[in-house]
A and B are shown apart, each in its own frame.
Chain A
Amino acid sequence: MRNKKPLIGLLTGISLFVAPVVRAADSPGDWPLADGTLEQAVAASLPEQIHSPMWLARAGHVTEQAGLLDMQQNGGGERRKPWLTGNELHKYLGLGSLLLGGLTMLSAGAAEGGEGDEGGGENSYGGTGYDIHRTLALSATALGLGAVATGFLFHGDDIGLESGLTDPDNLHMSLGLLGTLGYVSAVSAAPGESHAGSGTVGGLSMLVAVKIAW
């Protein structure tokens, strides 16, 4: 288990891939491209955010059309909640990142000169304990990055500097970002340099970020 750097990329990639998929499934008209034409897709996804004068005259018509399409695509029934919403994905990624961060911290002792340590010396790295610690850290970081990405994607409209930094959502975003940066910093510095500090700060920031939004 020497070269696991691709793992972080893989997990991050999965997170970043799943986010837009869920977003698309959540958007009005559930996967409009699967069943309808591009025109239907555009009409179904047009919310009342189109403010340009060119569109204003048609806004009412488009809105009505979107509603009709919604009903048609669902066989006259109501839109159902997707099996995984963007909100849930963000929540699970954040909680998972926090949990894995905690486990990473707990496994730190075993990473240094534990049983199976191939180097055997005080500053050597290897063996089962080290591998577990490393994999947990990389996974926590990947989930943290996924949580940050999905947070901006699904809750970006809740964030705004006009409410000040003490606004709960702004605090949640800042601390979550700080937590993930702490993870990234620790993973980047490991194993040669001291990285426990940034990892711990990252974990604590993540904990407070989760609690604020809980």
Chain B
Amino acid sequence: MVWTKDGENMNTKLKYKGLLLVLLGSLALPVAADEGWLDGLFARKNGVAAVKNALYQEECGSCHFPYQPGWLPERSWQRLLSSKALEDHFGENAELDESDRQAILDYVLANAAEHSGYKRSKKIMHSLRDGETPLRITETRYIRRKHHEIPRRLIEDNPKVGSLSNCDSCHTEAARGNFDEDTVRIPGYGYWDD
């Protein structure tokens, strides 16, 4: 035992310093994880899988936000990307070369919501009723519920947004598949949390 002149146990002092270091470390690790420094060790899957297909990115992303395949089930993509459906793709002609269409279809089917381990894909699947085949992501119950608190003036009546379908207008990391509420910034309004 080592005693200070105040009668305090030196071992106890050292012990508290050690504990303080451990506690500081316990704060540093979550921050490091949050900043993405540990992504290589512990990949995050709380959003949807990012698009990693150049053809899909180029063909679909040239007209609208390239929605991640994990937002819809296979049956939805099959209907959306049929040759006939692409002739009238929400009012636009989006016909593709057959080889490109098939390549894109193969990609989205392989990465559709039911095949994804990402959290929001699972949430989408849980929100669908048996046999329900949504053709718009924004019409799924999950997406409607997640946005129901946002006033119309911030979305539809907001000229910088216009529609819920413009994901990346507010979700600043949408392209990476990160839809955390902390990354939401509504143009003209700013940070939003629900």
Which A-chain residue is minimally distant from B187 (CB atoms)?
Answer: A78
B3 in the interface (beta carbon within 8 A): no
A136 touches B22 (CB 8 A): yes
Chain A positions within 8 Å of B44 at CB level: 214
A168 touches B19 (CB 8 A): no
Distance in angstroms between the alpha carbons of A212 and B23 in the assembled complex: 24
A96 touches B26 (CB 8 A): yes
Whole-angstrom distance between the Cβ of B170 and the nearest chain A Cβ? 12
Given contacts A139-B23, A167-B122, A213-B119, contact A78 B185 (CB under 8 A): yes
Q: Which of A63, A82, A116 contacts B11 (CB 8 A)?
A: A116
Which A-chain residue is minimally distant from B183 (CB atoms)?
Answer: A81
A35 in the interface (beta carbon within 8 A): no
| Interface residues of B, count at CB 8 A | 41
Which A-chain residue is minimally distant from B154 (CB atoms)?
Answer: A67
Chain A positions within 8 Å of B151 at CB level: 47-48, 63, 66-67
A91 in the interface (beta carbon within 8 A): yes
A9 in the interface (beta carbon within 8 A): no
Q: What residues of chain A have their CB less than 8 Å away from a CB belonging to chain B? A: 1, 26-27, 47-49, 63-64, 66-67, 70, 74, 77-82, 85-88, 91-92, 95-96, 99-100, 103, 116, 128, 131-132, 135-136, 139, 157, 163-164, 166-169, 212-214
Q: What residues of chain B have their CB less than 8 Å away from a CB belonging to chain A? A: 11-12, 15, 18-19, 22-23, 25-27, 29-31, 33-34, 42, 44-46, 119, 122-123, 126-127, 145, 149, 151-154, 180-182, 185, 188-194
